[in-house]
Structure 1
Amino acid sequence: MRWIESGDVRLAVFEEGDPDDPTILLIHGYPDTHRVWDEVAELLRDRFHVVRYDVRGAGDSGAPRDNGHYTLDHLAADLVAVLDAIGKPAVHLVGHDWGSVQGWDAVARPGLRDRLISFTGFGGPGVAQTTSFVRRGRRRDVAGQLARSWYIGAFQTPYLPELAWRTVMPGLLERTLRLDGVQPRPGHPAPTLEKDAANGLWLYRRNIGDRTGEAEPDIGVPVQLIDATRDRFVSPGLVAWLGRGVRRFWHRRIAAGHWAQRSHPAVVARMIAEFAEHTDGGPAARSLRAALVEEGRRAFQDRLVVITGAGSGIGRATARAFAAHGAEVVCADLDAEAAARTAEDLAGTAHAVRVDVADAAQMEDFARNIQTEYGVPDIVVNNAGIAVSGGFLDHSVDDWRRTIDVNLWGVVHGCRLFAAQMVERGEGGHIVNIASLAAFAPSRLLPAYSTSKAAVKMLSDCLRAELAGKGIGVSAICPGFVSTRIAHNATFVGDDDLREAAERGLERRGYPPERVAAHILRAVHRDQPVVPVNAEGKIGYALSRISPGAMRGLARLSGVSERAVSRRNKPIDR
């Protein structure tokens, strides 16, 4: 730690790492101190020169004699003093909460912005951007943000906020931290919290007001916005507004609350490091490329999509659709040649991999290799499946085992392995599980298939509930009859006439797999939980919810050869 003078204030500055490495300057918010960055600084200091300082009135730094000296002009002067002390032409700036507010001001301020290579901000919008949003944003979005910002008005009142910080507010802050998944530890909240909070009230009183004459700034410094999607203080509407006027803007998301650097330090540190390395001239990580906001970008550009059963039918059509929208696609199938044909047929980057989704060991290797060679998938489509048709008494144990192994265990393996990767990465993702109309429409012809697909739908519902807090969506797609080769490839037991009838029926239905693929892309884009596809899928889903008894009655109309049943229905020798 060393001291730096800025006007009548002495600032406490803390440095870690090799000064010859690129410098990352971390600025804390209200009512924190530099200690809020402890975990992130520890993760960055081996590659970067990490500098932190307590802002005026907080922690070890002094407070100005005049409470009017908490304006953004004075905060900018403090930042200049720290930059002068660092002694480098330019640094990477990172700000949280009021530190982010300062950062947005700095990247638009002549003279100061030239000393910044990049800016990463989260948890605090710029004052000018917020003013523009309040004036020009949609009324509903503005109302939502004003409701979240109720405390700002309260902070403008005299005496009462200071009294609150001496009594109830420290406890309320601790409870808020815990709700965000943050456990208090030595240094955060700081022992100087009461003093820091009282001093910091003047940040609001001196900077939040009428700035209607200001235009939206033109920002040439590369900006990375880390969007903590569970931040209770910053609304999605305001977040969506912040990129205006920024020439090079990256919008990254993390499923975290306001203090993301405390609850998810590894994710925040990685995002900061990736952005700093890229703006220093290095290649961009995939997730950083995908976060770039620019005109003309396709919906899934730079996203990595893994699709099982991609060699034909719905899987092949889905691979084509994602590739057409800019994704890099891994086409996986038990038939290696079919996977290769799909990959070769795609526009853009694609890879073919052979895997048996029913084999747990193969799926372990598959998921590990995908992560090593291509990265963590953004989207996984568990599509591989088989069908066995015939009466229940015609199904052998092997028929049941193979159906469950592929249709259910294959989905379980895909969900378990890739969801774990997505959770560890911390940037969300989406899992699509292909179920069926058979998931909610019982049939005498498809007992094993229907059972496995019903289990897939329930698994999807359970997983969606668990992963929602991680920013990972889960969708169950339930197509009705689709014109694919599933009937040709199915196993038919008990009645040899079933295959021909099924193939003719699907061919006459005329519903192409490309239309199912369109529903899959829409489900990912909109984060839809259950998507019944085509007329019979939608009618069946609605009827299953309105009148389950009617669905059971319809199931009795399925034509199963009674002769075949009787042939297999022999007395058991006990």
Structure 2
Amino acid sequence: MVSEPRPLPATGPRRRTVDNDGVELAVFSEGDPSSPTILLVHGFPDTHRLWDGLAERLVGDYHVVRYDVRGAGASTAPRKTAAYRTELLAEDLFAVADAVSPNRPVHVVAHDWGSIQAWAAVTAPRARARIASFTSVSGPNLDHVGQWVRRRVTRPTPANLRQVVAQLTHSWYIALFHIPVLPGLAWRTVVGPRWGHLLRRMEGVEATPAPTIGTDAANGVRLYRANMLSRRSRPAPSPAEVPVQVVLPTRDRFVTAALAEDLERWIPRLWRRRLVAGHWVPLSHPEALARVVEDFVEHVSGAPMTRSLQRARAGRDEGFTNRLVVVTGAGKGIGRATALAFAARGAEVVVADIDIEAARRTAAEIGPAAYPYPVDVSDADAVRAFAEDITDQHGAPDIVVNNAGIGMAGPFLATTAQDWRRVTDVNLLGVVNGCREFGALMAEAGEGGHIVNISSAAAYTPSRSLSAYAASKAAVLALSDCVRAEFADHGIGVTAICPGVVATDITNTTTFTGTDDLGQQRKRQQATKAYARRGFTPDRVAEEIARAVERGTPVVAVTPEAKLARAGARFFPGLMRRVARVLG
């Protein structure tokens, strides 16, 4: 027996009703019906309004269809718990798909319990003809979960048991939902009216729950009672022949990423996509989710895989393969060595330098996986245009190495205001520009990443002859610490690299203040010879950079003298200051 459908104001998207065996489903569609159809299925305790932000971003290119699942919003609500079994919910999905796209399969995108019920449809025999692709967000297949638990309990290694305990901890509320009467009463009287506030506290998202939230959630509790125990105790996993993309929010409070580990056993065409977000991704990150959906739908429709999709393909996420790395100052020295090191590990590299010919030479050493670009990092507008161009042509980068810099030495009193502006513009503001422009793009992409800023051992080693250079590099070190704290919210790591004496070309271009042209040339030659005798090569710094990105190390002192000076600055600062009066 079903109740009467609840009315909703007929505003916004086109609305229709689809009947499935006596259950009337409120269906909302936008966009050109002749375009590919994306069918959005919401979860608990939401309605079709969960997808407002995503639909707004997809409707220009797709026929976007949403519906209130049975028991929610304007759809009818069966009163018997058995009417909420996933196989019946799957038939609802097929009924909507048949109604809105009778001649062409639909691309299904589902969240939470919408995803759980969509799995039942995707693994059904009808799926091959009616579903073109499936993007699952924070909602596992219950049969797969049951098998996942069995495999780990019967093979009780510490890692397996930790995974099971972690998921049980995340799923604490399921047991509560099996208590008679109380969960529904709590949703109607206490939780439902405060759901918007709870979402802000839990997820940091602003959302206005549907007026029917209390009743919807009370009905939705039947989803857990009708399916959870039976599916987990008697799992019967089925394969999915359609392409499946599993979106794994890295900060999901309810579904752990480990649940997706065994899916290759049942899904031949599988992609795992990570987004730096909480459980309610459609509300908090609609822009990033729209990009993920479009990437997948376009590929399934015949377009080449994007770099993110290539990386997400099950079994192919290794090292830096399919990563895009941007390196500034990559024409020579540490920048060139860093570009070569990442390329050797499988990355594609944007080789940027103010000297485009030097950038092209580095790119030529790497081959087709390198892209030379000219850029003056001290020019904020130029860096912005550079970042936008890179993103348009190649997508948001995964790793950015802000390496470009210049040398400057000499007495403080002989260092002019123009000298200070030049060293600050390149060494500090060049890093600021790179962090700001690329950091914003990486945050918007929502897939995390890493930024490396090249500082120096001079940042914490006082010297009477390096006031301008040391100050600029100390600022880079402090900037990295500050940006790291902020970017952590976006899953973006930040590393400061502090080399000591490295044999690079920087000594040939260093400005020595307080001397004439002849003295300048002589000092450059002396410095170059001294650095060459030291024998620490740029490729060794590059190896440390790659290792720091792999490990997420915040600060790396590279050379032995850099490590010794860092220890001295921490434990013997007075001694370091006295030495600075002598050495220079």
TM, length-normalised to structure 2: 0.88
Measured in 2, the distance between the counterparts of 1:512 and 1:60 equals: 68
Alignment equivalent of 1:109, drawn from 124, 134, 145 = 124
Q: Deviations over 1:358-412 (max 9, x none)?
A: 2334333333333344333232211011111233234333332221121111111
SS at match of 2:241: coil
State the AA in 2 paired with 1:69: A
How far residue 265 of structure 1 moved from its aligned partner, in angstroms, is 1.9
Measured in 1, the distance between the counterparts of 2:250 and 2:318 equals: 23
Alignment equivalent of 1:12, drawn from 26, 33, 38 = 26
What pairs with 1:243-282 in structure 2 (closer than 5 Å)?
Answer: 245-282=266-303
Measured in 2, the distance between the counterparts of 1:391 and 1:18 equals: 70
Conserved 8 A contact 2:287-2:444 = no
For residue 577 of structure 2, what is the aligned residue in structure 1?
A: 552
Change (3 A) 1:236 1:506: farther
SS at match of 1:12: strand
For residue 98 of structure 1, what is the aligned residue in structure 2?
A: 113
Measured in 2, the distance between the counterparts of 1:400 and 1:183 equals: 46
Change (3 A) 1:91 1:545: same
Alignment equivalent of 1:481, drawn from 501, 505, 521 = 501
State the AA in 2 paired with 1:397: A
Alignment equivalent of 2:429, drawn from 395, 401, 409 = 409
What pairs with 1:68-79 in structure 2 (closer than 5 Å)?
Answer: 68-79=82-93
Conserved 8 A contact 2:114-2:139 = yes
Conserved 8 A contact 1:298-1:325 = no
Change (3 A) 1:219 1:536: farther
For residue 220 of structure 1, what is the aligned residue in structure 2?
A: 241
Change (3 A) 1:481 1:25: same
For residue 327 of structure 1, what is the aligned residue in structure 2?
A: 347
> Higher mean Cα deviation, 519-528 or 543-552?
543-552
Is the counterpart of residue 457 in structure 1 residue 439 in structure 2? no
How far residue 195 of structure 1 moved from its aligned partner, in angstroms, is 1.2
Conserved 8 A contact 2:110-2:136 = yes
For residue 390 of structure 1, what is the aligned residue in structure 2?
A: 410
Q: Deviations over 1:253-289 (max 9, x none)?
A: 3332222212222222232122112101123334333
Is the counterpart of residue 283 in structure 1 residue 312 in structure 2? no
For residue 139 of structure 2, what is the aligned residue in structure 1?
A: 124
State the AA in 2 paired with 1:159: V
For residue 182 of structure 1, what is the aligned residue in structure 2?
A: 205
Measured in 2, the distance between the counterparts of 1:106 and 1:68 equals: 17
Q: Deviations over 1:510-532 (max 9, x none)?
A: 32222221222222233332222
Measured in 2, the distance between the counterparts of 1:450 and 1:306 equals: 25
Change (3 A) 1:220 1:439: farther
Measured in 2, the distance between the counterparts of 1:171 and 1:89 equals: 41
Measured in 2, the distance between the counterparts of 1:504 and 1:215 equals: 72
Conserved 8 A contact 1:71-1:207 = yes
Measured in 1, the distance between the counterparts of 2:261 and 2:573 equals: 43
How far residue 207 of structure 1 moved from its aligned partner, in angstroms, is 1.2
For residue 64 of structure 1, what is the aligned residue in structure 2?
A: 78
Conserved 8 A contact 1:8-1:64 = no
Measured in 1, the distance between the counterparts of 2:406 and 2:89 equals: 64
State the AA in 1 paired with 2:274: R
For residue 550 of structure 2, what is the aligned residue in structure 1?
A: 525
Alignment equivalent of 1:230, drawn from 251, 275, 296 = 251
Measured in 1, the distance between the counterparts of 2:180 and 2:54 equals: 36
For residue 154 of structure 1, what is the aligned residue in structure 2?
A: 176
Measured in 2, the distance between the counterparts of 1:215 and 1:519 equals: 48
Q: Deviations over 1:320-341 (max 9, x none)?
A: 1122223222211122221111
How far residue 212 of structure 1 moved from its aligned partner, in angstroms, is 4.8
Q: Deviations over 1:116-151 (max 9, x none)?
A: 111101122221232234332622232222222111
Change (3 A) 1:223 1:491: same
Is the counterpart of residue 3 in structure 1 residue 17 in structure 2? yes
- Name structure 2 gaps, 5 residues minimum: 1-14, 153-158
Conserved 8 A contact 1:216-1:244 = no
Change (3 A) 1:321 1:90: same
Conserved 8 A contact 1:256-1:264 = yes
For residue 513 of structure 1, what is the aligned residue in structure 2?
A: 538
How far residue 28 of structure 1 moved from its aligned partner, in angstroms, is 0.4
How far residue 346 of structure 1 moved from its aligned partner, in angstroms, is 0.4
Measured in 2, the distance between the counterparts of 1:294 and 1:184 equals: 37
Alignment equivalent of 2:438, drawn from 401, 413, 418 = 418
Q: Deviations over 1:411-466 (max 9, x none)?
A: 11212222222233333332211111112222223221111111001111111222
Measured in 1, the distance between the counterparts of 2:119 and 2:382 equals: 49
Measured in 1, the distance between the counterparts of 2:568 and 2:121 equals: 59
Is the counterpart of residue 38 in structure 1 residue 60 in structure 2? no
How far residue 239 of structure 1 moved from its aligned partner, in angstroms, is 4.9
How far residue 161 of structure 1 moved from its aligned partner, in angstroms, is 1.0
Conserved 8 A contact 2:459-2:470 = yes
Is the counterpart of residue 370 in structure 1 residue 370 in structure 2? no
Conserved 8 A contact 2:31-2:62 = yes
TM, length-normalised to structure 1: 0.90
Change (3 A) 1:84 1:373: closer
> Higher mean Cα deviation, 483-492 or 241-250?
241-250
